[in-house]
Protein backbone atom coordinates (compact mmCIF):
# COMPACT_ATOMS: atom_id res chain seq x y z
CA UNK A 1 0.00 0.00 0.00
CA UNK A 2 2.78 2.40 1.04
CA UNK A 3 4.84 1.51 -2.05
CA UNK A 4 1.84 2.16 -4.32
CA UNK A 5 1.22 5.49 -2.65
CA UNK A 6 4.91 6.38 -3.07
CA UNK A 7 4.81 5.43 -6.77
CA UNK A 8 1.64 7.39 -7.31
CA UNK A 9 3.07 10.54 -5.68
CA UNK A 10 6.34 10.11 -7.61
CA UNK A 11 4.53 9.87 -10.95
CA UNK A 12 2.23 12.74 -10.14
CA UNK A 13 5.17 14.95 -9.19
CA UNK A 14 7.13 14.04 -12.30
CA UNK A 15 4.05 14.72 -14.40
CA UNK A 16 3.64 18.15 -12.82
CA UNK A 17 7.21 19.25 -13.46
CA UNK A 18 7.02 17.63 -16.92
CA UNK A 19 10.16 15.60 -16.18
CA UNK A 20 13.49 17.25 -16.77
CA UNK A 21 14.75 15.08 -19.55
CA UNK A 22 16.57 15.72 -22.77
CA UNK A 23 13.78 13.76 -24.47
CA UNK A 24 10.96 15.85 -25.77
CA UNK A 25 7.58 14.94 -24.34
CA UNK A 26 4.89 14.49 -26.92
CA UNK A 27 1.39 14.35 -25.61
CA UNK A 28 -0.51 15.40 -28.69
CA UNK A 29 0.68 12.22 -30.36
CA UNK A 30 -1.79 11.97 -33.24
CA UNK A 31 -1.65 15.72 -33.90
CA UNK A 32 2.14 15.50 -34.11
CA UNK A 33 2.00 12.55 -36.50
CA UNK A 34 -0.62 14.24 -38.62
CA UNK A 35 1.65 17.27 -38.90
CA UNK A 36 4.50 15.06 -40.10
CA UNK A 37 2.35 13.49 -42.79
CA UNK A 38 -0.91 11.69 -43.15
CA UNK A 39 1.20 8.64 -44.09
CA UNK A 40 2.63 8.61 -40.53
CA UNK A 41 -0.88 7.97 -39.24
CA UNK A 42 -1.70 5.52 -42.02
CA UNK A 43 1.42 3.59 -41.04
CA UNK A 44 0.16 3.26 -37.44
CA UNK A 45 -3.08 1.55 -38.45
CA UNK A 46 -1.19 -1.18 -40.27
CA UNK A 47 -0.04 -2.74 -36.99
CA UNK A 48 -1.63 -4.95 -34.38
CA UNK A 49 -0.61 -6.27 -30.97
CA UNK A 50 -1.11 -9.21 -28.65
CA UNK A 51 -4.09 -7.73 -26.78
CA UNK A 52 -6.04 -6.97 -29.95
CA UNK A 53 -5.34 -10.38 -31.49
CA UNK A 54 -6.16 -12.31 -28.31
CA UNK A 55 -9.37 -10.33 -27.80
CA UNK A 56 -10.46 -11.16 -31.33
CA UNK A 57 -9.59 -14.81 -30.86
CA UNK A 58 -11.89 -14.89 -27.81
CA UNK A 59 -14.63 -12.95 -29.59
CA UNK A 60 -14.68 -15.56 -32.34
CA UNK A 61 -16.00 -18.08 -29.79
CA UNK A 62 -18.99 -15.89 -28.83
CA UNK A 63 -22.38 -16.73 -30.28
CA UNK A 64 -23.25 -13.04 -30.63
CA UNK A 65 -20.50 -12.54 -33.17
CA UNK A 66 -22.02 -15.09 -35.59
CA UNK A 67 -24.31 -12.29 -36.73
CA UNK A 68 -23.96 -8.57 -37.13
CA UNK A 69 -23.03 -7.03 -33.78
CA UNK A 70 -22.30 -3.52 -32.49
CA UNK A 71 -18.98 -2.52 -30.99
CA UNK A 72 -17.85 0.64 -29.20
CA UNK A 73 -14.10 1.30 -29.24
CA UNK A 74 -13.27 3.74 -26.43
CA UNK A 75 -10.11 5.75 -27.18
CA UNK A 76 -10.01 4.43 -30.75
CA UNK A 77 -7.26 6.74 -32.05
CA UNK A 78 -7.24 6.85 -35.86
CA UNK A 79 -9.03 3.45 -36.03
CA UNK A 80 -6.31 0.91 -35.27
CA UNK A 81 -8.86 -1.66 -34.09
CA UNK A 82 -11.15 -0.79 -37.00
CA UNK A 83 -8.32 -1.68 -39.36
CA UNK A 84 -7.58 -4.93 -37.50
CA UNK A 85 -11.28 -5.91 -37.71
CA UNK A 86 -11.32 -5.13 -41.40
CA UNK A 87 -8.42 -7.51 -42.00
CA UNK A 88 -10.10 -10.29 -39.99
CA UNK A 89 -11.96 -12.91 -42.08
CA UNK A 90 -14.90 -13.16 -39.63
CA UNK A 91 -15.21 -9.53 -38.60
CA UNK A 92 -14.53 -7.72 -41.87
CA UNK A 93 -18.19 -7.12 -42.57
CA UNK A 94 -20.36 -8.00 -39.57
CA UNK A 95 -19.33 -5.28 -37.12
CA UNK A 96 -21.31 -2.09 -36.61
CA UNK A 97 -18.40 -0.05 -35.34
CA UNK A 98 -18.35 3.19 -33.31
CA UNK A 99 -15.06 4.76 -32.22
CA UNK A 100 -14.54 7.71 -29.87
CA UNK A 101 -11.35 9.61 -29.11
CA UNK A 102 -10.27 13.06 -27.94
CA UNK A 103 -7.85 13.62 -30.80
CA UNK A 104 -9.16 15.75 -33.64
CA UNK A 105 -6.39 14.57 -35.98
CA UNK A 106 -7.10 10.91 -35.23
CA UNK A 107 -10.88 11.23 -35.61
CA UNK A 108 -10.58 13.24 -38.84
CA UNK A 109 -8.25 10.62 -40.26
CA UNK A 110 -10.56 7.75 -39.24
CA UNK A 111 -13.62 9.46 -40.71
CA UNK A 112 -12.04 9.70 -44.12
CA UNK A 113 -10.12 6.39 -44.04
CA UNK A 114 -13.13 4.35 -42.89
CA UNK A 115 -15.91 6.32 -44.55
CA UNK A 116 -19.09 4.26 -44.47
CA UNK A 117 -17.43 1.64 -42.26
CA UNK A 118 -18.14 3.11 -38.87
CA UNK A 119 -19.10 6.13 -36.82
CA UNK A 120 -16.25 8.18 -35.36
CA UNK A 121 -16.87 10.82 -32.74
CA UNK A 122 -14.52 13.24 -31.04
CA UNK A 123 -15.07 13.38 -27.29
CA UNK A 124 -13.27 13.27 -23.97
CA UNK A 125 -13.97 9.83 -22.56
CA UNK A 126 -13.28 10.99 -19.00
CA UNK A 127 -15.58 14.00 -18.92
CA UNK A 128 -18.10 13.61 -21.75
CA UNK A 129 -20.98 11.16 -22.06
CA UNK A 130 -20.26 8.07 -24.15
CA UNK A 131 -22.68 7.28 -27.01
CA UNK A 132 -25.72 5.61 -25.47
CA UNK A 133 -26.80 3.25 -28.28
CA UNK A 134 -26.86 -0.35 -27.11
CA UNK A 135 -23.50 -2.01 -27.78
CA UNK A 136 -22.89 -5.75 -27.80
CA UNK A 137 -19.19 -5.25 -27.24
CA UNK A 138 -17.32 -2.37 -25.62
CA UNK A 139 -13.55 -2.35 -25.78
CA UNK A 140 -10.93 -0.06 -24.35
CA UNK A 141 -7.45 -0.92 -25.50
CA UNK A 142 -4.33 0.78 -24.18
CA UNK A 143 -6.19 3.80 -22.91
CA UNK A 144 -6.89 3.71 -19.16
CA UNK A 145 -3.18 4.07 -18.36
CA UNK A 146 -3.41 7.50 -20.01
CA UNK A 147 -6.37 8.70 -18.00
CA UNK A 148 -6.63 10.27 -14.56
CA UNK A 149 -8.75 7.41 -13.23
CA UNK A 150 -9.92 4.08 -14.55
CA UNK A 151 -12.78 3.26 -12.17
CA UNK A 152 -15.17 5.97 -13.38
CA UNK A 153 -14.40 5.07 -16.97
CA UNK A 154 -15.01 1.35 -16.43
CA UNK A 155 -18.28 2.14 -14.60
CA UNK A 156 -19.36 4.41 -17.46
CA UNK A 157 -18.78 1.57 -19.96
CA UNK A 158 -20.52 -1.04 -17.81
CA UNK A 159 -23.55 1.24 -17.36
CA UNK A 160 -24.13 0.83 -21.11
CA UNK A 161 -24.68 -2.89 -20.43
CA UNK A 162 -22.51 -4.49 -23.11
CA UNK A 163 -22.55 -8.28 -23.44
CA UNK A 164 -18.77 -8.30 -23.68
CA UNK A 165 -16.41 -5.79 -22.10
CA UNK A 166 -12.76 -5.90 -23.11
CA UNK A 167 -10.03 -3.90 -21.47
CA UNK A 168 -6.31 -4.05 -22.07
CA UNK A 169 -3.70 -1.99 -20.31
CA UNK A 170 0.05 -1.69 -20.57
CA UNK A 171 2.98 -0.87 -18.34
CA UNK A 172 6.51 -0.08 -19.40
CA UNK A 173 9.54 -0.64 -17.24
CA UNK A 174 11.62 2.18 -18.67
CA UNK A 175 10.82 5.35 -16.71
CA UNK A 176 11.62 7.82 -19.48
CA UNK A 177 9.50 5.83 -21.90
CA UNK A 178 6.65 5.88 -19.42
CA UNK A 179 6.91 9.61 -19.07
CA UNK A 180 6.91 10.19 -22.78
CA UNK A 181 3.76 8.19 -23.27
CA UNK A 182 1.27 10.99 -22.81
CA UNK A 183 -1.81 10.52 -24.91
CA UNK A 184 -4.37 12.32 -22.83
CA UNK A 185 -5.58 15.85 -23.53
CA UNK A 186 -4.12 17.27 -20.30
CA UNK A 187 -0.62 16.04 -21.12
CA UNK A 188 -0.20 14.41 -17.69
CA UNK A 189 1.43 11.03 -17.21
CA UNK A 190 -0.47 8.17 -15.60
CA UNK A 191 1.57 5.30 -17.01
CA UNK A 192 2.42 2.49 -14.55
CA UNK A 193 0.29 3.72 -11.67
CA UNK A 194 -2.71 1.39 -11.94
CA UNK A 195 -1.73 -2.12 -10.81
CA UNK A 196 -3.37 -4.89 -12.83
CA UNK A 197 -4.60 -6.52 -9.61
CA UNK A 198 -6.50 -3.37 -8.59
CA UNK A 199 -8.15 -3.16 -12.00
CA UNK A 200 -9.20 -6.82 -11.69
CA UNK A 201 -10.62 -6.15 -8.21
CA UNK A 202 -12.74 -3.29 -9.52
CA UNK A 203 -13.99 -5.39 -12.44
CA UNK A 204 -14.79 -8.33 -10.14
CA UNK A 205 -16.76 -6.09 -7.78
CA UNK A 206 -18.88 -4.79 -10.64
CA UNK A 207 -19.28 -7.76 -12.95
CA UNK A 208 -21.34 -10.88 -12.30
CA UNK A 209 -20.20 -12.74 -15.40
CA UNK A 210 -16.94 -14.45 -16.23
CA UNK A 211 -13.65 -12.61 -16.43
CA UNK A 212 -10.78 -14.07 -18.43
CA UNK A 213 -7.33 -12.65 -17.99
CA UNK A 214 -4.28 -12.92 -20.15
CA UNK A 215 -1.07 -11.28 -19.12
CA UNK A 216 1.77 -10.72 -21.50
CA UNK A 217 5.22 -9.31 -21.25
CA UNK A 218 8.74 -9.15 -22.60
CA UNK A 219 9.58 -12.05 -24.80
CA UNK A 220 6.01 -13.11 -25.53
CA UNK A 221 5.44 -10.77 -28.44
CA UNK A 222 7.20 -9.27 -31.38
CA UNK A 223 9.27 -6.36 -30.00
CA UNK A 224 8.96 -4.65 -33.37
CA UNK A 225 5.23 -4.22 -33.06
CA UNK A 226 5.44 -1.52 -30.42
CA UNK A 227 7.80 1.30 -29.57
CA UNK A 228 9.45 0.06 -26.41
CA UNK A 229 10.93 -3.38 -25.86
CA UNK A 230 10.37 -3.52 -22.10
CA UNK A 231 6.71 -3.67 -21.39
CA UNK A 232 4.05 -5.82 -19.89
CA UNK A 233 0.35 -5.86 -20.31
CA UNK A 234 -2.87 -7.34 -19.10
CA UNK A 235 -5.99 -8.17 -21.08
CA UNK A 236 -9.28 -8.51 -19.23
CA UNK A 237 -12.06 -10.14 -21.23
CA UNK A 238 -15.40 -9.95 -19.45
CA UNK A 239 -18.45 -11.96 -20.49
CA UNK A 240 -21.43 -10.27 -18.91
CA UNK A 241 -24.30 -12.29 -20.35
CA UNK A 242 -23.74 -15.32 -18.15
CA UNK A 243 -23.84 -15.86 -14.41
CA UNK A 244 -20.64 -17.89 -14.61
CA UNK A 245 -18.18 -16.04 -12.35
CA UNK A 246 -15.23 -18.13 -13.40
CA UNK A 247 -11.89 -16.36 -13.51
CA UNK A 248 -9.10 -17.81 -15.60
CA UNK A 249 -5.58 -16.51 -15.67
CA UNK A 250 -3.34 -16.78 -18.70
CA UNK A 251 -5.88 -18.91 -20.48
CA UNK A 252 -5.56 -18.84 -24.23
CA UNK A 253 -9.12 -20.02 -24.88
CA UNK A 254 -12.13 -19.17 -22.75
CA UNK A 255 -14.15 -22.22 -21.74
CA UNK A 256 -17.22 -22.65 -23.92
CA UNK A 257 -20.68 -21.90 -22.55
CA UNK A 258 -21.97 -25.45 -23.03
Decide if residue 216 touches ligand SAM (CB under 6 A): no
- Rounded least distance, CB 230 to ligand SAM, Å: 16
> Stretches 15-23, 33-41, 73-81, 243-251: which one binds ligand SAM (CB under 6 A)?
73-81
Who's near 93: CB < 8 A, 6+ residues apart? Answer: none
Q: Give me the 143-162 binding string for ligand SAM, x by CB under 6 A, dash otherwise.
A: x--xx---------------
Which residues lie across from 168 on neighbouring strands?
141, 235
Instruction: Kindly tell me which residue out of 50, 109, 165, 183 binds ligand SAM, with binding defined by CB under 6 A.
Output: 183
CA 228, distance to chain mean position in Å, is: 17
Nearer to ligand SAM, 88 or 255 (CB): 88
Burial class (CB in 10 A: 0-12, 13-18, 19+), 239: buried
Cα angle value 49/248/209 (rounded, 5°) = 100
Nearer to ligand SAM, 143 or 193 (CB): 143
> Stretches 140-148, 159-167, 228-236, 245-253: which one binds ligand SAM (CB under 6 A)?
140-148
Rounded Cα distance between 78 and 223, Å, is 22
Instruction: Kindly tell me which residue out of 85, 98, 136, 142 binds ligand SAM, with binding defined by CB under 6 A.
Output: 142
Helix spans in the chain (H):
2-16, 29-36, 38-44, 50-60, 80-87, 104-113, 151-159, 175-180, 196-206
Q: Binding to ligand SAM (CB under 6 A): which residues in 94-133? A: 101-103, 106, 124-126
- Rounded least distance, CB 143 to ligand SAM, Å: 4
Query: How many residues at the interface with ligand SAM, by CB under 6 A?
Result: 20
Contact present, 182 and 204 (Cβ < 8 Å): no
Rounded Cα distance between 13 and 186, Å, is 15
Instruction: Kindly tell me which residue out of 34, 41, 80, 178 binds ligand SAM, with binding defined by CB under 6 A.
Output: 80
Q: Binding to ligand SAM (CB under 6 A): which residues in 28-57? A: none
Nearer to ligand SAM, 38 or 247 (CB): 38
Instruction: Kindly tell me which residue out of 65, 98, 169, 184 binds ligand SAM, with binding defined by CB under 6 A.
Output: 184
- Rounded least distance, CB 257 to ligand SAM, Å: 27
Q: What is the dihedral of CA 21, 22, 25, 31, to 10 degrees?
A: 180
Decide if residue 76 touches ligand SAM (CB under 6 A): yes
- Rounded least distance, CB 131 to ligand SAM, Å: 13
Rounded Cα distance between 97 and 94, Å, is 9
Rounded Cα distance between 114 and 207, Å, is 33
Binding site for ligand SAM (CB under 6 A): 75-77, 80-81, 101-103, 106, 124-126, 141-143, 146-147, 183-185
Amino acid sequence: MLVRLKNFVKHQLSAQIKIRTKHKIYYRQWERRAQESIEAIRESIKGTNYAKEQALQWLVSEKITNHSFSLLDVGCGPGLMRAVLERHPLFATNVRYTGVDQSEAAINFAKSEFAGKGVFQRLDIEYDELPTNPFDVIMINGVIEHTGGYKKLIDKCLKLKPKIFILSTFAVTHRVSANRLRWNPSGDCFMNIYPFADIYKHLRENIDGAIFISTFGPGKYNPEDYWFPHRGGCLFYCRLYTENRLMVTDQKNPPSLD
